[in-house]
Amino acid sequence: MKNRIFGLETEYGLIFTPHGKVYLPMEKILGYVFEGLIPNSWPSNAFLSNGARFYQDTGCHPEYATPECDQVFDAVVHDKAGERLLERCLPVAQKRLQEEGLSGDIYIYKNNTDSMGNTYGCHENYLMRRDVDFWKVTEQLIPFFVTRQIYAGAGKILKVAGRSHYFISQRAQHIHEKTSSSTTSSRSIINTRDEPHADAEKYRRLHIIVGDSNMSEYATYLKVGTTAIILAMIEDKFYVDGVELDDPVKAMREISRDTTLKKRVRLEKGKEMSAIDIQRLYLEKAKEYLSLVEEDPISRDILERWEFVLDELSEDPNRLDREIDWIAKRGLIQSYMNKKGCGLDDARVAMLDLQYHDINQDRGLYYLLDRGGMIERIAAEEDIQRAIDSPPQTTRAKTRGDFIRFAKAKNRSYTVDWTYLKLNGYWEETILCMDPFSSENVRVNELIAAAEAQK
């Protein structure tokens, strides 16, 4: 696979359920959660020793941004590490409640909507070449993103005209534009924000806000992997022709509402195609493209899984209840409704919909399926646990993690961002790190070596 930097930013839902008549602002609850990660402080923006960033987003959401990854597998693992880190915070947050004489339960959900109809996102980032025509990129990627939800959607019960329906995607109903610079007021399929956190003459960042947050590692792997392959194709001017949609936003919502996957959406030239058919066009072009470049095991694996998923979706989507979130969750809900003799409007079913996304492994329904051997995994748990403390070893994140560990060991005040490292106070020093592919920095290595020599 072409060398590229990936990253995922996940905004989490936060709920406090009091025992009795207790009111606490969510800012205070979020402060308790942050204390579980960084004791005795409440930073609004903290970089961690694994190179990731943990911070408060708009709407009082805890947000976790993975470190820079140059392998799809690493992006999956570090995305899961974010879940585990937040899960670790919960006992500390609960203890802080008790210390203040308060009683209640704190829940953190990896989903995209709340009970009031608000949405929060899972943003994907792909470093791409600056010299590529960005509008050609959007033209090629929009049909892909509109239809990708059939295997990347997280599923959601929504009311339409007073009746509850099960939708494939949580985010689809909240997208209003094809392209936009905003991530809140006019959410778009492709965001035009241009912050590469790298050499701006060589790179730009493709910022995607249309996707759902996935509990399934398989779905995350496929979501990021297929996008990376399509982006490489576009950079090499290998295009998929004739798939431009007449109304992409409308098509996205229509596809999300049709769990049979039979809905055909209208293309610009008047033809109609299903989401599966459009995805197959991208798949076939990707096969052709990869046959002309140096093949690698990761790209081959992604293509095989992609084809397998599209074949299963064509035959019987229910066969993918181990791999795809919206199908796994729908199976749980359907089983419950059959057992209880209720429908989608039942409040208990709405709770199931939410509980699937609970990151607490003792409570979350996704993890109930996982413990029962009913989920297809990509990563081993030891990989995820390692990623909690250790950054990818082949990107800039390694330098950042090394620097943070050094500064903490020396009890030095420091400031960190994506592109620089700074020692504060006496002998103040700023170290620029503009190359996200570089895992070593001479000055950081000198600081660490000097510290080792003084032991």
Q: For residues 378 and 309, give the distance between their C-alpha atoms in angstroms, rounded to a whole number.
A: 15
Instruction: For 274-332, write each residue's pLDDT tens digit.
Output: 999 999 999 999 999 999 998 799 999 999 999 999 999 999 999 999 999 999 999 99
Residue 284 lies in a domain: yes
Between 26 and 76, name the one with better pLDDT. Answer: 76
Residue 420 lies in a domain: yes
Residues 380 and 244 occupy one common structural domain: yes
Q: Which domain holds residue 404?
A: 393-453
Q: At what angle do helices 297-315 and 72-99 cross, to 10 degrees?
A: 70
Residues 379 and 400 occupy one common structural domain: no
| Structural domain ending residue among the three candidates 386, 410, 439 | 386
Residues 297 and 421 occupy one common structural domain: no
Write down the pLDDT at residue 441.
Answer: 94
Percent of the chain with pLDDT over 90: 77
Active site residue 417: no
Please name every residue paired with 164 in a beta bridge, in sequence order, or none if there are none.
159
Q: For residues 203 and 214, give the distance between their C-alpha atoms in angstroms, rounded to a whole number.
A: 28
- The type of residue at 410 is K
Q: How far is CA 171 from CA 76, 146, 154, 310, 322, in A?
A: 20, 11, 9, 21, 22
Mean pLDDT rounded to a whole number for the chain: 93
Residues 182 and 204 occupy one common structural domain: yes
Marked catalytic residue, from 57, 70, 74, 212:
57
Instruction: For 97-122, write each residue's pLDDT tens digit.
Output: 889 888 899 999 999 998 788 899 89
Two structure tokens written together for 233:
């194709």
Residue 186 lies in a domain: yes
Write down the pLDDT at residue 40.
Answer: 54
Using a 10 angstrom Cβ sphere, with 0-12 exposed, 13-18 middle and 19 or more buried, the burial of residue 112 is: buried
Residues 239 and 107 occupy one common structural domain: yes
For the beta carbon of residue 376, count every other beta carbon within 10 angstroms: 18
Q: Average pLDDT of 9-19?
A: 93
Residue 266 lies in a domain: yes
The CATH number linked to 27 is: 3.30.590
Instruction: For 315-330, write each residue's pLDDT tens digit.
Output: 999 999 999 999 999 9
Two structure tokens written together for 318:
């229910």
Q: For residues 339 and 361, give the distance between their C-alpha atoms in angstroms, rounded to a whole number.
A: 24
| Structural domain ending residue among the three candidates 386, 404, 419 | 386
pLDDT at residue 443 is higher than 90: yes
Residues 46 and 107 occupy one common structural domain: yes
Residue 337 lies in a domain: yes
Instruction: For 226-277, write each residue's pLDDT tens digit.
Output: 999 999 999 999 999 999 999 999 999 999 999 999 999 999 989 999 999 9
Q: Average pLDDT of 64-79?
A: 98
Write down the pLDDT at residue 425.
Answer: 84
Residues 113 and 187 occupy one common structural domain: yes
Residue 1 lies in a domain: no
Write down the pLDDT at residue 44.
Answer: 54
For the beta carbon of residue 113, count every other beta carbon within 10 angstroms: 21
Q: How far is CA 140 from CA 74, 111, 237, 238, in A?
A: 26, 28, 10, 10
Residue 283 lies in a domain: yes
For the beta carbon of residue 450, count every other beta carbon within 10 angstroms: 11
pLDDT at residue 375 is higher than 90: yes
Task: Give how many domains the chain has, as a whole number.
Answer: 2
Instruction: For 136-185, write each residue's pLDDT tens digit.
Output: 999 999 999 999 999 999 999 999 888 999 999 999 999 998 887 665 66
Given a contact cutoff of 8 angstroms between Cβ atoms, the answer to whether 34 and 42 are in contact is: yes
Instruction: For 181-198, write each residue's pLDDT tens digit.
Output: 665 667 889 988 889 999
Residue 86 lies in a domain: yes
* pLDDT grade for 42, boundaries at 50, 70 and 90: very low
Residues 399 and 324 occupy one common structural domain: no
Residues 162 and 242 occupy one common structural domain: yes
Residues 371 and 408 occupy one common structural domain: no
| Structural domain ending residue among the three candidates 366, 386, 406 | 386
Residues 80 and 121 occupy one common structural domain: yes
Give the dihedral sign, CA 317/321/323/328: positive
Residues 433 and 322 occupy one common structural domain: no
